[in-house]
Structure 1
Amino acid sequence: MTRIQKKPPPNWFAAFAIEPTAAMRAWLDTIAENAPLGVVFFKPMDLHITVAFFGALSSEQVPVLLQTIGKIAFSPFSIEFGETRALPSRKRFSALTLTLGKGRDKVTKMMGELESNLLALVGKRSRRSPLPHMTFARPKKRSDGEILSWLDQLNPPDCSVIIREITMYTRSDNRRQSLFKRVN
């Protein structure tokens, strides 16, 4: 008997879309060359800073969020990165991230204001304080000391990137091409 695998329900989130520069792409290419086995890198088009994670949404909730996000007055701005960090903790991490340097206070404030309002629209509430970061890779397995040692030796990219918009994301239909799909 053949088992039919169901696709997982689409998870939705709102995020600041990152526009990677040539320097950012070069940094990702360089660190990928020396990465330990088991590190899966995000494609440049998948880079973002999550504002609010919604999980599964009903077909009625998505248009409400899209309309609300479309009305947000937003002016593009640049950010720079701080340090590398394993999240949610060094003991049990599932994301390899860059914290923010320049622009951190602005992004933190915006995240705090937007997250609670967006989550309230779909009957959810935040479970944590805003922690602005950009995930650039994930480990295939939960925790690995070799990955942490490699991460600790990385210097953040010496460049700024532009945040052009806040948009909705969901799971991509073709995960080999990109992990996420932007929905406007």
Structure 2
Amino acid sequence: MAPNWFIALPVPASPWFDHRFDPPSPAFRRCHPQDLHLTVAFLGAVTETQARAAFDRPLAWDQGAIAVGLGAIVPLGNPHRYSALSILLTLGHDRACSLLHQNQPHLLGTAGVPLDPRPPKPHITVMRPQRHASHQDRQIGLTWAEGWDLSQTDPLLLRDIALYTWTDDRQTHLFEIVDRRPL
């Protein structure tokens, strides 16, 4: 499998995520707690050298860690065949948008990746439908997502930024952190 690289803020899973998010049907895969993150810049299939050059670039951010509050779980991707169920941010949304907006152009440019023209949408993916998921499966997923109210969850502190890629064995979790540093 071709490498897939991205720069993200690791999201602590405990205690808000542990044992809470059971898949709504066998057509869904729950994200592993190690895989929870808030993407800053998706680099894609660049070389490791390009990915590391982007990650090594100093951030245009001197505000330190970001406290985030969890909001609604929504479908993301193609509106007719979503690819993820993700949590939107309440507390910390504007700070996260600012971090993404200030850094994406430089990180993507350093890696030789075109800038994504869409505005930043900070989110944390918690569930993905399998490729074979039917329309009915996806409807079950939407109903599942509507049943969650995460507004009472204690804020999470996102302290680090990390460089991620695929794991060698994708049976348990999908991503591995290759490098990490404090925000």
Q: Shorter-chain TM-score: what band?
A: 0.7 to 0.9
2-side partners of 1:65 and 1:176: how far apart?
A: 28
Does residue 131 of structure 2 align to residue 138 of structure 1? Answer: no
- 1:82/1:71 CA distance change after superposition, 3 Å: closer
User: Shift in Å at residue 104 of structure 1?
Assistant: 0.3
For the pair 1:151 / 2:145, whether they are aligned, the reply is yes
Partner of residue 162 from structure 1, selected from 157, 161, 182: 157
Per-residue displacement from partner, 1:110-133 (whole Å, max 9, x unpaired)? 011111110011222222210000
Deviation at 1:52, TM superposition (A): 0.8
Aligned to 2:5: 12
Identity across the alignment (%): 27
Give the secondary-structure state (helix, strand or coil) at the position aligned to 1:107: helix
Structure 1 Cα separation of the partners of residues 21 and 35 of structure 2: 17
Q: Which has the higher helix share?
A: 1
8 Å Cα contact 1:21-1:161 kept in structure 2: no
Q: Which runs of 5+ in 2 are unaligned?
A: none
TM-score normalised by L of structure 1: 0.85
CA deviation string 1:124-144 (max 9, x = no partner): 222221000000110113542
Using structure 2 for the length normalisation, give the TM-score: 0.85
Deviation at 1:156, TM superposition (A): 2.2
Runs (4 or more) in structure 1 with deviation over 3 Å come to 69-74
The offset of 1:175, in angstroms, is: 1.3
Size of the alignment, in residue pairs? 173
Structure 1 residue 49 displacement after superposition: 0.6
CA contact (8 A) 2:5 2:43 kept: yes
Superposition pairs for residues 64-103 of structure 1, below 5 Å?
64-68=53-57, 73=62, 75-103=64-92
Q: Once structures 1 and 2 are overlaid, which stretch shifts more, 101-110 or 115-124?
A: 115-124
Cα-Cα RMSD: 2.1
Letter in 2 for 1:154: W
Residue 120 (1) aligns with residue 109 (2): yes
- Consecutive unaligned residues of structure 1, counting only runs of 5 or more, are 1-7
CA 1:121/1:173 → structure 2, altered by over 3 Å: closer, same or farther? same
* 1:19 Cα deviation after fit: 1.6
Report the counterpart of residue 48 of structure 1 in structure 2.
37
CA contact (8 A) 1:19 1:164 kept: no
Provide the residue aligned with 1:171 in structure 2: 166
SS at structure 1 position matched to 2:57? helix
1:25 matched to 2:17? The reply is: yes
How far the C-alpha of 1:15 sits from its partner, in A, is 0.6
Q: Secondary structure at the match of 2:83?
A: strand
Render the CA deviation track for 1:34-60: whole Å, top value 9, x for unaligned. Answer: 622211011111100111111111243
